[in-house]
Structure 1
């Protein structure tokens, strides 16, 4: 039986303009404009490239944004591509305390509100037919918000425009794929001014902690503003995959395509990443001319067994680590346990092609290793192995 799957969560892009001292605004009654005309046009282009734009209710109340694609040409291009003229507008609120007269609701295209069960009652009363209201239970769960946007609205690319609390929660939960910062050449210098990221509402540190260095995607000047694009890359900590987990597992799946072809073994890619997001090693099946080496084995062999980072590292493998093998004394599941890694992320469970009912995940979980699965990346993992998959349903439950 094939693994259960769901639509991929949207690519989540956090967008903000900040001062040199990290402020989103000053403490005055009027909004401080940090961007310039060129950067506002850049933001308009980013909006036009997205399926939805999300904002928190606090930002709606404070700034009353319209969140529209202002360029008529960009709207026309969207329509020509079969898209609505405007991206879906998304608001998130725990209380449901929303103003139907706010221009967010009276302009643009479709709107949806994510809120609690209690907040949904008030939101429906306030907004009526202006927006779809989705109740999420006692609290607003960001993973459920993203899953619903993907499955119910087909959102593949989501732009998040604030506020600070929303940005903080998504980054802290490991759900942001990218952070876009426009750095303005001014200093606010006010202790009470709002800042982009803070302690947040969730317990615990940001993924990877204070030593986590994000990947730099781009930097360029936009007039007197500097645009910086970063991607978080610290692995998650539990069996709920993060955006960074998706990045690393996608890399492992790509490595599987580099394997020398074989009719008697799977093509697998593996990447090992420390808790702060540093890549420790990568490998793929049959690497270096060894016809029987496995991907996880090849990657682990490149790391000093005494490296303390292994104890908190995540192993990304395009295929479930093997539970049994004839070519080596130890299967990959045992090699991972011996190395001390405590977390594995995989895309595809091993079919019965060579080993009946192999259960590497069961071995790992039985030894206390956390295993996260991202089945919507299974297609990329299977692609180099399609000729080895039995035509009858032999995938494990």
Structure 2
């Protein structure tokens, strides 16, 4: 089961503060931005906060718009996303609005904190012990197993910092308010420590927009073990593509491949896998692209994630997948495994894409996952999956 897409969401001042040191909460956003966040909540499967945020802000984490709640129900989802809290100690106030307002609730804690957590909020939430400490990877695995595909993380600073430092954040949406707090002890969004890629690593800017009087920028964090152009979001979607490859009917004459097409805003547009729908020769990228209109404007800024390098030559169709991607107007592809010479010697789909101006990112850390459903064709993973 794939982990959810992890979206970190926060609002800060121009000098990076989440709040000032006064007794009242500093409101950094206005009505327009609050509505934007409400829409992001409505698009999420779960919303997560840490215990510090629960104690300081007492958030309800609800979808406020009745229309958005109705649309969720119409789509077969609960009116409210799952509300998730994280507390190592389990020492929480059962009267907090988080536990008494709408939506299902889930609490992650440690083995030592589990007894107190169940005594405090066990009647209002499922309580899950993660071990001696809060194991964020295990937490995300558990949410994925529960069907959570999009996780919105609304704080606090310690939670955001840990997820980013561990390389588990797929996206950061940061609303910057036009004010300066100027207090040296005011809380900042991220704490000190080692971050993926080191101190000189730069996130990739996905887009920016003005919402009322704040500027909201979307970033894709970098993660260790990936190429410079690959990000945490790339790893998430590429892992899903590798999972889809396992759904392929087995074949002795073709690879099992999965593909996912993702829009610039991080939403999935289509997915496919080899030999899907009983077609013995359809390829994964081809199957995914066929599910979208040829003139879909979102393709121009979308990314195609394919567990195997898109093919440059094929006998079963007039156009190989690399050419289908180029002709669809897609400008970015992420893949885990370069095509070996098993069936087509000298295949170079990445070269075809690059020659057409398509940016290609490779994530060799996921090559093993891409090879796994093809083990009968490729008994061992080559020491290098890259062609010279």
Q: Give the structure-1-normalised TM-score.
A: 0.67
- Name the CA distance, whole Å, in 1 between partners of 2:366 and 2:373: 6
Alignment partner of 2:182 out of 175, 189, 195: 189
- Name the CA distance, whole Å, in 1 between partners of 2:199 and 2:340: 37
Deviations 1:293-316 (A, max 9, x none): 2559979xx9xxxxxxxxxxx963
1:246 Cα deviation from its structure 2 partner: 3.5
Which residue is equivalent to 1:348? 371
Alignment partner of 1:359 out of 380, 384, 387: 380
Which residue is equivalent to 1:41? 35
Whether 2:206 is the aligned partner of 1:234: answer no
SS at match of 1:117: coil
Contact kept, 8 Å, 1:35 with 1:184, in 2: the verdict is: yes
Which residue is equivalent to 2:247? none
Structure 1: gaps (5+ residues):
1-6, 270-278, 303-313, 321-344, 365-397
1:347 Cα deviation from its structure 2 partner: 2.1
1:283 Cα deviation from its structure 2 partner: 9.5
Deviations 1:203-250 (A, max 9, x none): xx211112211111110100110010011133348xxx9545345676
Which residue is equivalent to 1:162? 155
* Structure with the greater alpha carbon radius of gyration: 1
Q: Give the structure-2-normalised TM-score.
A: 0.68
Contact kept, 8 Å, 2:336 with 2:370, in 1: the verdict is: no
Whether 2:95 is the aligned partner of 1:112: answer no
SS at match of 1:212: coil
- Name the CA distance, whole Å, in 2 between partners of 1:9 and 1:352: 24
- Name the CA distance, whole Å, in 1 between partners of 2:377 and 2:334: 30
Deviations 1:170-210 (A, max 9, x none): 0001111100000100000000000000125xxxx211112
Alignment partner of 2:52 out of 58, 74, 80: 58
Which residue is equivalent to 1:316? 363
Map 1:135-284 onto structure 2 (within 5 A). Answer: 135-151=129-145, 153-199=146-192, 205-236=194-225, 243-246=233-236, 253=306, 256-261=309-314
1:354 Cα deviation from its structure 2 partner: 5.0
Contact kept, 8 Å, 2:305 with 2:335, in 1: the verdict is: no
Contact kept, 8 Å, 1:260 with 1:286, in 2: the verdict is: no
- Name the CA distance, whole Å, in 1 between partners of 2:151 and 2:377: 41
Which residue is equivalent to 2:5? 11
Contact kept, 8 Å, 1:284 with 1:298, in 2: the verdict is: no
SS at match of 1:190: coil
Which residue is equivalent to 1:326? none
Contact kept, 8 Å, 1:256 with 1:268, in 2: the verdict is: no
Map 1:81-92 onto structure 2 (within 5 A). Answer: 81-92=75-86
| Residue-pair matches, total | 298
Which residue is equivalent to 2:296? none
CA RMSD of aligned residues (A): 3.5
Structure 2: gaps (5+ residues):
242-303, 323-332, 356-360
1:82 Cα deviation from its structure 2 partner: 0.8
